[in-house]
Amino acid sequence: MQILAQLIVSGISVGMVYGVIAFGYQLTFSTSKTLNFGQGEALMLGALVGLTTINFLIGHAIATLPAFLLMLPVVLAFGLLQGAVVEFFGVRQAVKAKSDAGWIMATIALGVVFKNMAENIWGHDALRFPSPLPEAALSFGGVRVQPMEIAIVVGALLLMVAVEVFNRKSIYGKAVVATANDRDAAGLMGIDTRLVIMFSYALSSMTAAFAGVLVAPVTLTGATMGAVLGLKAFAVAIIGGLSSGVGVVVGGLILGVVENLTGFYISTGYKDVPGLLLLLLVLSLKPAGLFGAAAIKKV
Amino acid sequence: MTVTKYILALSAATALSSAAMAADAIKVGLSGPYTGGSSSMGVSMRDGAKLAVDEINKAGGVNGAVIQLVERDDEAKNEVGVQVAQELINKEKVVATLGFINTGVAQAGERFYQEAEIPVLNNVATGSILTRQWPNEKQNFVFRNAANDTIQSAMIADEAITRQGFKKPAILSDSTNYGQLGKDDMMAALKKLNVSPVAIEKFNIGDTDMTAQVLKAKEANADVVLTYAIGPELAQIANAMAKLGWKVPLVGSWTLSMASYIDTAGANGDGAIMPETFIEMPTTPKRKAFIEAYHKAYGGDRMPSPVSAAQGYDSVYLLAAAIRQAKSTDGRKLLAALENLNEKVEGVVTTYDHPFSATDHEAISPNIPVMGLVKNGRVVPAHPEDLQGDKALRVKPKG
């Protein structure tokens, strides 16, 4: 029982990271029906920018926890900017030309560019990210959790709630929702849909960058850290449904927990298999995802 | 004189002078990953090799010619390794190639040298198969001066079971060729000691959560964890063990001495034990001189991968001795010289006295490496007595 709880708890924290990256996919998909396939790289850049910032702050005799909190706005701002860049260079032309595949190639290409840039700036080795919280694990009835794992879950939830509230309550958010519903109609109502799409990309990369600094203290930071996470989050987005914010979170948790359970009870060699099986199953039975609304395409 | 004529004359002159230089230089290929996850090993190997080439050239070169290293980055990718091999053989016309860090890249690239009859001194890659890839061919052009996985896995099993008395090993390895072939070697070594592992787990490169793997080993009541993986994932194992509050010794292949393990696992990584052909300590005069020269040339106070640096350095001296003996750079003559090297080569790892023969292309024998231990971010001898007195210099037994 204790082992089961341990596996589930560890799975939840990993799953939450998948979820928050997938949430970023969902943000841009809802406004423009496009995704940033360089989402993993956005996460990696966020983590590395965070690493440089936090090391700079720690170098100026600031304790790790305040340094981490001070670093967050820098990383979030960087994420916003990076997302806007991706939209401007990778997606805008493709959306304008109503190209079906242009944005796919462009966002993948930008991802490669970002990865190479990061390799040139930060080098090729995995780097250690200072942990803002004590690294010693806490024990809850035998289930051991690192404080940072709790921070991942709380932080990811807070960020997603904040973005959702922003989208629902603020006037900018209303424009986002309007664009998501019907881009042409929103345009006719005087909403600058181009700006809205750019903004959704900015938000999307911001969540990825945030996920990057959340996960970095429990893993390692480096130019290649985004690849696996970005891919898994993509599977999560498909499982949960690209049109549902709740769906991707649930999808993330499912994948994280199932991976761990399979690893322990079946074989660690098959850890990645159930995720892929689940993906195929969802695609064949409920293509819009577990929580996605079925898309009706009028011709 | 018109401008065109002037340019023509100038280019002719430079072409002549560079041709003259090329005639004097012995071109030696250097293939390794200078970028990517294995770069700490590749770069250290390159630095060690360059240091040796500089020393040789300053002392007058070999047979009156200087050695010129042609460095190519194989990025630890098999397909790039193949391109590099073809370029070095066909375009650069190297007389021999040193290097290869990754077993997969070595397997992909070395067959081109075999076909072209150009010797390879494999100075880091450890896959046991590398020196016997072509059992049915008359000649084998691949030599090695690194401790292969058969040697390492036997040492790991011996250290954990015989020397430290553990009885229930768990094996954790990554899903690459390196990890899986190493795991098989380790299973065979354990079988010889009549011990069977209580858990055999694997993981992928880039995995961020090792809870399931470590928990399985813990639940199987393992008393020691044996590893075959590379730095970042090894660090994840150490971190997951710390998280689960489970403290058993970590004994594994030499990659536990990678900077990416030591630096990223931090305090959790202390105590890990691995076989090492060279530990960065001045235990012989040659090692002292090497360590000083290395840091003088490249700065710092700790080599990123001391083993790679030392083996890279030694491989140059082995090749130079063979070229001197062959009085030629012809591939077959070099092969004959390497297989019967009369000159004693004093290297950093050991003193090479007839290191190779027609049937044995491994310069490192099981008695040469010692176990290293990670302590406060550095590798020190796990059993200091192993390197004391006349045991500091360990040489391959004759025959």
- How do residues A105-146 score in pLDDT, each as one tens digit? 889 999 999 998 998 888 777 788 888 888 888 888 888 888
pLDDT bin (cut points 50, 70, 90) of residue B8 is: low
- Asked if the Cβ–Cβ distance from A10 to B211 is below 8 Å, we say yes
- Residue A226 pLDDT: 87
- Residue B93 domain-assigned? yes
Q: By C-alpha distance, which of B75, B276, B250 is closest to B169?
A: B250
Distance of CA B97 to CAs B73, B92, B225, B296, B393, Å?
13, 11, 37, 26, 27
Cβ neighbours of A212 (radius 10 Å)? 31
Under 8 Å between Cβ of B272 and B226: no
Cβ neighbours of A290 (radius 10 Å)? 19
How do the domains of chain A map onto residue ranges? 2-285
N-term to C-term CA, chain A: 53
Q: Is B219 on the interface with A (CB under 8 A)?
A: yes
Helix spans in chain B (H): 3-24, 39-58, 78-86, 103-116, 149-157, 177-192, 211-219, 231-243, 259-265, 285-298, 306-326, 331-339
Under 8 Å between Cβ of B173 and B162: no
Task: Give strand pairing partners of B173.
Answer: B202, B228
Of B209, B211, B260, the CB nearest to A125: B260
Q: What integer is the mean pLDDT of B270-299?
A: 94
State pLDDT tens for residues B20-49.
444 579 999 999 998 777 888 999 999 999
Q: By C-alpha distance, which of B306, B285, B277, B273 is closest to B396?
A: B277
CATH architecture, range A2-285: Orthogonal Bundle (1.10)
Q: What are phi and psi of B206, to 5 degrees?
A: 95, -5
Q: Are residues B129 and B160 in the same domain?
A: no
> How far out from the chain centre does Cα B200 lie?
26
Mean pLDDT in consecutive groups of 10 residues from the start of chain A, 299 residues: 88 91 89 88 95 93 91 95 92 81 88 90 82 86 88 92 86 83 84 87 93 88 86 88 84 91 87 86 85 65
Name the residue of chain A whose CA is nearest to B304's CA: A125
Domain boundaries, position B177:
150-276+372-379+384-391
pLDDT bin (cut points 50, 70, 90) of residue B19 is: very low
- Residue B126 domain-assigned? yes
- As a whole number of angstroms, the distance between CA B142 and CA B107 comes to 10
Report if pTM > 0.80.
yes
Of A7, A219, A220, the CB nearest to B212: A7
Counting one residue from chain A and one from chain B, the pairs whose CB atoms sit within 8 A come to: 93
- Asked if the Cβ–Cβ distance from B202 to A10 is below 8 Å, we say no
Question: Going by C-beta distance under 8 Å and a sequence separation of 6 or more, which residues neighbour residue B118?
Answer: B89, B94, B95, B96, B97, B141, B331
Residues of B in contact with A47 (CB under 8 A): none
- Residue A185 pLDDT: 87
- Residue B398 domain-assigned? no
DSSP B218: H
Residues of A at the B interface, defined by Cβ within 8 angstroms: 3, 6-7, 10-11, 13-14, 17, 119, 124-128, 135, 137, 139, 144, 146, 215, 218-220, 222, 224-225, 227-229, 259-264, 268-269, 271-272
Name the residue of chain B whose CA is nearest to A10's CA: B211
- Residue A224 pLDDT: 83
Q: What are phi and psi of B203, to 5 degrees?
A: -155, 165
The distance of A201 to chain B (nearest Cα, Å) reads 26
Task: Give strand pairing partners of B30.
Answer: B71, B98
The distance of B32 to chain A (nearest Cα, Å) reads 14
Chain B stretch 147-186, residues whose beta carbon is closer than 8 A to a beta carbon of chain A: 175
- As a whole number of angstroms, the distance between CA B344 and CA B220 comes to 50
- Residue B110 pLDDT: 94
Residues of A in contact with B216 (CB under 8 A): 263-264, 268
Name the residue of chain B whose CA is nearest to A228's CA: B206
Look up residue B61 and give its amino acid.
G
Q: What integer is the mean pLDDT of B323-351?
A: 94
State pLDDT tens for residues B88-127.
999 999 999 999 999 989 999 999 999 999 999 999 999 9
Residues of B in contact with A262 (CB under 8 A): 212
- How many domains is chain B partitioned into structurally? 2
DSSP string of chain A?
A: -HHHHHHHHHHHHHHHHHHHHHHHHHHHHHHHS---TTHHHHHHHHHHHHHHHHHHHHHTT--HHHHHHHHHHHHHHHHHHHHHHHIIIIIHHHHHTT-SSHHHHHHHHHHHHHHHHHHHHH-SS-BPPPPSS--SPEEETTEEE-HHHHHHHHHHHHHHHHHHHHHHHSHHHHHHHHHHH-HHHHHHTT--HHHHHHHHHHHHHHHHHHHHHHHTTTS-B-TTHHHHHHHHHHHHHHHH-TT-HHHHHHHHHHHHHHHHHHHHHT-GGGTTHHHHHHHHHHHHH-TT-SSPPPP----
- Asked if the Cβ–Cβ distance from B211 to A7 is below 8 Å, we say yes
N-term to C-term CA, chain B: 70
Task: Considering only the C-alpha atoms of chain A, give the largest distance between any 2 of them, rounded to a whole number of Å.
Answer: 63
Task: Give the angle subtended at the CA of B181 by the CAs of B175 and B185, to the nearest 5°.
Answer: 130
- Asked if the Cβ–Cβ distance from B35 to A124 is below 8 Å, we say yes
- Asked if the Cβ–Cβ distance from A268 to B39 is below 8 Å, we say no
Task: Give the angle subtended at the CA of B23 by the CAs of B21 and B28, to the nearest 5°.
Answer: 95
Q: Are residues B308 and B331 in the same domain?
A: yes
Sign of the dihedral through C-alpha B8, B11, B17, B19: negative
The distance of A293 to chain B (nearest Cα, Å) reads 32
- Residue B399 domain-assigned? no
Cβ neighbours of B245 (radius 10 Å)? 12
Residue A154 in tokens:
């709380």
Residue B68 burial (10 A CB sphere; 0-12, 13-18, 19+): middle
- As a whole number of angstroms, the distance between CA B354 and CA B349 comes to 15
The distance of B120 to chain A (nearest Cα, Å) reads 27
Q: Is B366 on the interface with A (CB under 8 A)?
A: no
Element (H, E) at B131: none
- Asked if the Cβ–Cβ distance from A137 to B259 is below 8 Å, we say no
Q: Are residues B170 and B251 in the same domain?
A: yes
- CA R_g for chain B: 22
Residue of A115, A120, A124 best to disrupt the B interface, most CBs of B under 10 A: A124
State pLDDT tens for residues B45-57.
999 999 999 999 9
Q: Is B221 on the interface with A (CB under 8 A)?
A: no
- Residue B313 domain-assigned? yes
Q: Is the pLDDT reported for residue B12 higher than 70?
A: no
Q: What integer is the mean pLDDT of B164-185?
A: 92
Cβ neighbours of A139 (radius 10 Å)? 10
pLDDT bin (cut points 50, 70, 90) of residue B3 is: low
- Report the percent of chain B where pLDDT is more than 70: 94
DSSP string of B306-364?
A: HHHHHHHHHHHHHHHHHHHHHTS--HHHHHHHHHT--SPEE-SS-EESS---SS--B--
Q: Is B261 on the interface with A (CB under 8 A)?
A: no
- Residue A231 pLDDT: 87
Q: Are residues B139 and B286 in the same domain?
A: yes
- Residue A292 pLDDT: 72
Distance of CA B188 to CAs A138, A281, B342, B356, Å?
39, 40, 35, 26
- As a whole number of angstroms, the distance between CA B370 and CA B281 comes to 13
Q: What integer is the mean pLDDT of B235-245?
A: 90
- CA R_g for chain A: 19
- As a whole number of angstroms, the distance between CA A264 and CA A250 comes to 21
CATH number of the domain enclosing B166: 3.40.50.2300
Q: Are residues B228 and B286 in the same domain?
A: no
- Residue B5 pLDDT: 61
Residue A32 in tokens:
């423009």
